[in-house]
Amino acid sequence: MSDIRVGVLALQGAFIEHEKMLQQVGAQAVEVRLPQQLDGLDALIIPGGESTTIGKLAVDFGLLEPLREFARHKPVWGTCAGMILLARDIGRDQPLLGLMDITVNRNAFGRQVDSFETDLHVPALGLEPFHAVFIRAPLVTRVGDGVEVLARLEDGSIVAARQGHWLATAFHPELTDDPRFHRYFLQEVGNLVPVR
């Protein structure tokens, strides 16, 4: 059993899929619903779902400040709604962690293009394209100086970014069977080894 313990915020949304992927890459997955469940974790994933619901539940469960405190030193990855929660600015008022220096536009693709899949070029993962699933996805519309863009759509829109030990993806790597993003998060963003 691996020593690496990765929390998955399990308030709402696609957290079980992240747990399965973490186990696949050799980490222990721990569901987080309460502040004390962050104790002893090496990293945390905030899943996709509905960012307003996740944010509201995080407030109700007294998690916002403990999550910010955890994220100060530990690697955190937000997918889709999780990316929204990590952002400093989303142009509207809802509970956020407000950590990454990015501006995010929620539901950026509108009703017509609710969900889609596409192959992304992600240099940090190697040459093979990454098949990305977008579901009522947000887009990054601005990145600050310390933020590295990891992937763009063909039209140039930013869909993956990293700021030090924080990672954000607008799509859902946990819904594919390609574990490269989970490995990248643990090994490169988190400096956590060994991983299968």
The whole-angstrom separation of Cα 160 and Cα 95 is: 22
The whole-angstrom separation of Cα 103 and Cα 117 is: 23
88 in helix, strand or coil? strand
User: x/- string (CB under 6 A) for ligand GLN, residues 63-92?
Assistant: -----------------xx--x--------
Restricting to residues 117-156, which ones interact with ligand GLN according to CB under 6 A? Answer: 135-136
> Strands 28-32 and 148-152, how do they pair?
unpaired
Nearer to ligand GLN, 26 or 48 (CB): 48
Cis previous bond, 66, omega within 30: no
Please tell me which residue in 17, 18, 19, 172 is annotated as part of the active site: 172
Which residue reads 């709604």 in tokens?
81
Nearer to ligand GLN, 32 or 81 (CB): 81
Exactly one of 7, 26, 48, 75 binds ligand GLN (CB under 6 A); which one? 48
- Max alpha carbon distance in the chain (Å)? 45
- Residue 104 binding ligand GLN, by CB under 6 A: no
- Residue 107 binding ligand GLN, by CB under 6 A: yes
Exactly one of 21, 25, 51, 64 binds ligand GLN (CB under 6 A); which one? 51
- Residue 50 binding ligand GLN, by CB under 6 A: yes
Nearest approach in angstroms of CB 6 to ligand GLN is 19
Cis previous bond, 194, omega within 30: yes
The helix or strand, by DSSP H or E, that contains position 57, with its residue range, turns out to be: helix 51-60
Instruction: Specify the stretch interacting with ligand GLN by CB under 6 A; choose among 43-51, 65-73, 140-148, 173-181.
Output: 43-51
CA distance from start to end of the chain: 11
- Residue 180 binding ligand GLN, by CB under 6 A: no
Is residue 80 among the annotated active site residues? yes
Is residue 174 among the annotated active site residues? yes
The whole-angstrom separation of Cα 87 and Cα 36 is: 24
Residues that bind ligand GLN (CB under 6 A): 48-51, 80-81, 84, 106-107, 135-136
Catalytic residues: 80, 172, 174
